[in-house]
C-alpha cells in the first residue's frame, strides 16, 4: 500500500445557491481543487463524486459521468458514491484506496448536494428516506426526530443539559461567522436564543428536546480534493497533507436494536481503525471536524472518538475546551451547524478544512497554531455508517 496525500483542496461557499445547478457546483469546487493542486491542463486518472440525492432532488443520475464530461477529464474513470450523509467520506475512501493500491495516481474527489431546490417539506422527506422503510419511515420520523430521541436518552444517562448543547451551538456559529465558505454568517446571541423570554420565539422546539439552533441548516454546496501518492506529492509547491489513517464501521439500521442506543459504536470503531493505521492517539490530534448535524452529535462524538470520557463531552464544551484556542479545537470551520450540511459535500468539506489547517494557511483568527494532525468524522444515517480520517502535515 502506498501513502496517499491531499495535494489540492477547494470548496465553494455553502448556502442557498439558486443560481447554480448541482453540476455547476461540482464543477466549480473541482476546478478550485485542481487549480490548488497545480494540475493545469493535466487530467486525473479517476474521479469519485459523493452525492446522496441527485436522483431524488434533481432527477439526474450518473452525475460522475456528467462531471467528467463538463471538466473534460475524459477518459478518466468516474463513479458516483452514495452513502447517505456519509457519501462525501465514502467518496474520499474510494479515492484513497484506489491510489493506495497503486491502481491510479491522480484522483479527484468531489462531494456536492443541492438541497434548496425543493421546499423544506420535501427536503425533510428526502433526508428521512434513509430511515427504515417499514419500521420508521411511515411514522413521519425525521433525522432531527431521531436526534431528539437520542438526545433524550443521552441527557437521562449522562446528564447532558440544554446549556451544554447551547455551548456547541454558540461556538460553531461564532466560528462559522469567520468562515467565508460557511452557510450561516452570523454569530448567535445567547440571550436571544436561551435566556430571554423571547428565546422560545427565536429558538423554538424543533425536535424535542432539540431546538432550532441545535440543528444544522439545509444547504447547497460542494467541496473537492485532489489526491496522489505521497512520493509524487513532494515535488509540488504546497505542503502535502498525508491521509495517515482511515476507518469505517456500520451499526444497526434502527436505534432500538442497539444494545445501548446511546453507544455510537460505529464512531468508536471507525475512529479506532483510523488512529491505529495512523499510529496516533486522540491526544495527538491538533484539530478536529466532527459531524455536528445536531449539537448533541458533536458532544457524543467528542466522547466516542476518545477526546473525553463518556459523560464529559457536554461539560468540556461548556468549559470551552473544544473552542478555538482550547484543549482540542472542534469544528473551527463552524461545523455542519454553521458551515452547512449539503449532505454529499460534508465528508469532503471536512477534509478540505483540515487540509487548510494543516497547511497553516488560514487567517489568524481561525488558524490552529502549529497544527500537525487532524481528525474528521463523517456520520451517516443515525450512526449506522461512519467514516473517520486522520490527516497529518508533512514537512517538505
Partner 1 sequence: MKKEIAITAFKCKKCGRIHYPYHDRCLGCKHREFDKIKPEGNAKLLTYTVIFNLPWGFDQRFLVIGVAEFENHVKAMGQIKADSVDQLKVGMTVIPSWEPVRVQYGEDVYGLKFEPVE
Binding to partner 1 (CB under 8 A) within 100-119 occurs at 119
- The nearest distance, CB 108 to partner 1, in angstroms, is 34
Q: Is 162 in the site for partner 1 (CB under 8 A)?
A: no
Q: Give me the DSSP letters along 129-164.
A: TTS-TTTTGGGT--HHHHHHHHHHHHHHHH---HHH
Q: Which helix (H) or strand (E) holds 389?
A: strand 385-393
Binding to partner 1 (CB under 8 A) within 259-298 occurs at 261
Choice from 152, 277, 360, 366 touching partner 1 (CB under 8 A): 152
Q: Is 38 in the site for partner 1 (CB under 8 A)?
A: no
Choice from 105, 125, 189, 263 touching partner 1 (CB under 8 A): 125
Q: Give me the DSSP letters along 44-71.
A: -SEEEEE-SSIIIII----HHHHHHHHT
In the block, cell 495516481 appears at 105
d(CA 238, CA 7) in angstroms, rounded, equals: 7
Q: Is 62 in the site for partner 1 (CB under 8 A)?
A: no
Nearest Cα to 254, choosing from 352, 122, 135? 135
- Between the two ends of the chain, the Cα-to-Cα distance in Å is 21
Q: How many residues in the shown chain lie near partner 1 by CB under 8 A?
A: 38
Length of the chain, please? 396
**CA dist 287 → 216, 262, 270 (Å):** 20, 25, 18
Choice from 69, 139, 163, 310 touching partner 1 (CB under 8 A): 139
- Which residues make Cβ contacts (< 8 Å) with residue 260, sequence separation at least 6? none
Looking at the Cβ atoms of 209 and 347, the one nearer to partner 1 is 209
Looking at the Cβ atoms of 44 and 216, the one nearer to partner 1 is 216
Choice from 18, 19, 42, 134 touching partner 1 (CB under 8 A): 134
d(CA 394, CA 281) in angstroms, rounded, equals: 18
SS3 348: helix
Choice from 72, 237, 256, 370 touching partner 1 (CB under 8 A): 256
Choice from 73, 91, 115, 207 touching partner 1 (CB under 8 A): 207
Q: Is 121 in the site for partner 1 (CB under 8 A)?
A: yes
Q: Is 148 in the site for partner 1 (CB under 8 A)?
A: yes
Binding to partner 1 (CB under 8 A) within 214-253 occurs at 252-253
- The nearest distance, CB 124 to partner 1, in angstroms, is 4
- The nearest distance, CB 256 to partner 1, in angstroms, is 4
Looking at the Cβ atoms of 204 and 325, the one nearer to partner 1 is 204
Choice from 102, 140, 320, 325 touching partner 1 (CB under 8 A): 140
How many CB atoms within 10 Å of residue 185? Answer: 15
Check: CB of residue 274 under 8 Å from CB of residue 316: no
Residues that bind partner 1 in the complex, under the rule CB under 8 A: 119-122, 124-125, 128, 132, 134-136, 138-142, 144-145, 148-150, 152-153, 156, 204-210, 252-257, 261
Amino acid at each position: 500500500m502506498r501513502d496517499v496525500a491531499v495535494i489540492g483542496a477547494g470548496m465553494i461557499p455553502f448556502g442557498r445557491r439558486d443560481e447554480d445547478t448541482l453540476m455547476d457546483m461540482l464543477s466549480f469546487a473541482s476546478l478550485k481543487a485542481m487549480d490548488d493542486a497545480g494540475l493545469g491542463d493535466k487530467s486525473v486518472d479517476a474521479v469519485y463524486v459523493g452525492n446522496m440525492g441527485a436522483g431524488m432532488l434533481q432527477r439526474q443520475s450518473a452525475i460522475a459521468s456528467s462531471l467528467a464530461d463538463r471538466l473534460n477529464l475524459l477518459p478518466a474513470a468516474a463513479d458516483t458514491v452514495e452513502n447517505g450523509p456519509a457519501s462525501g467520506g465514502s467518496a474520499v475512501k474510494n479515492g484513497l484506496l484506489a491510489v493506495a493500491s497503486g491502481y491510479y495516481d491522480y484522483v479527484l474527489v468531489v462531494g456536492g448536494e443541492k438541497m434548496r431546490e425543493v421546499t423544506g417539506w420535501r427536503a425533510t422527506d428526502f433526508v428521512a428516506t434513509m430511515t427504515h422503510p417499514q419500521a420508521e419511515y411511515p411514522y413521519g420520523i425525521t433525522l432531527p426526530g431521531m436526534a431528539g430521541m437520542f438526545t433524550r436518552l443521552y441527557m437521562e444517562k449522562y446528564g447532558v443539559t440544554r446549556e451544554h448543547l447551547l455551548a456547541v451551538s454558540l461556538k460553531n456559529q461564532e466560528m462559522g461567522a469567520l468562515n467565508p465558505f460557511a452557510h450561516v454568517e452570523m454569530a448567535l446571541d445567547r440571550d436571544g436564543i436561551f435566556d430571554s423570554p423571547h428565546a422560545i420565539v427565536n429558538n423554538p422546539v424543533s425536535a424535542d428536546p432539540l431546538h432550532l439552533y441545535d440543528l444544522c441548516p439545509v444547504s447547497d454546496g460542494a467541496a473537492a480534493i485532489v489526491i496522489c501518492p505521497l512520493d509524487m506529492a513532494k515535488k509540488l509547491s504546497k505542503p502535502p497533507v498525508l491521509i495517515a489513517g482511515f476507518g469505517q464501521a456500520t451499526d444497526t439500521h434502527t436505534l432500538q436494536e442497539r444494545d445501548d442506543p446511546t453507544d455510537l459504536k460505529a464512531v468508536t470503531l471507525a475512529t479506532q481503525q483510523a488512529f491505529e493505521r495512523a499510529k496516533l492517539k486522540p491526544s495527538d490530534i491538533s484539530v478536529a471536524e466532527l459531524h455536528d448535524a445536531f449539537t448533541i452529535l458533536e458532544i457524543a462524538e467528542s466522547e466516542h472518538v476518545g477526546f473525553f470520557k463518556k459523560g464529559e463531552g457536554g461539560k468540556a464544551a461548556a468549559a470551552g475546551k473544544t473552542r478555538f484556542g482550547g484543549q482540542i479545537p472542534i469544528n473551527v470551520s463552524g461545523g455542519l451547524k454553521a458551515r452547512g450540511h449539503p449532505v454529499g459535500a460534508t465528508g469532503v468539506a471536512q477534509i478540505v478544512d483540515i487540509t487548510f489547517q494543516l497547511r497553516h494557511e488560514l487567517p489568524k483568527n481561525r488558524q490552529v497554531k502549529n497544527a500537525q494532525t487532524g481528525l474528521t468524522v463523517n456520520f451517516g444515517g443515525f450512526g449506522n455508517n461512519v467514516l473517520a480520517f486522520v490527516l497529518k502535515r508533512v514537512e517538505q
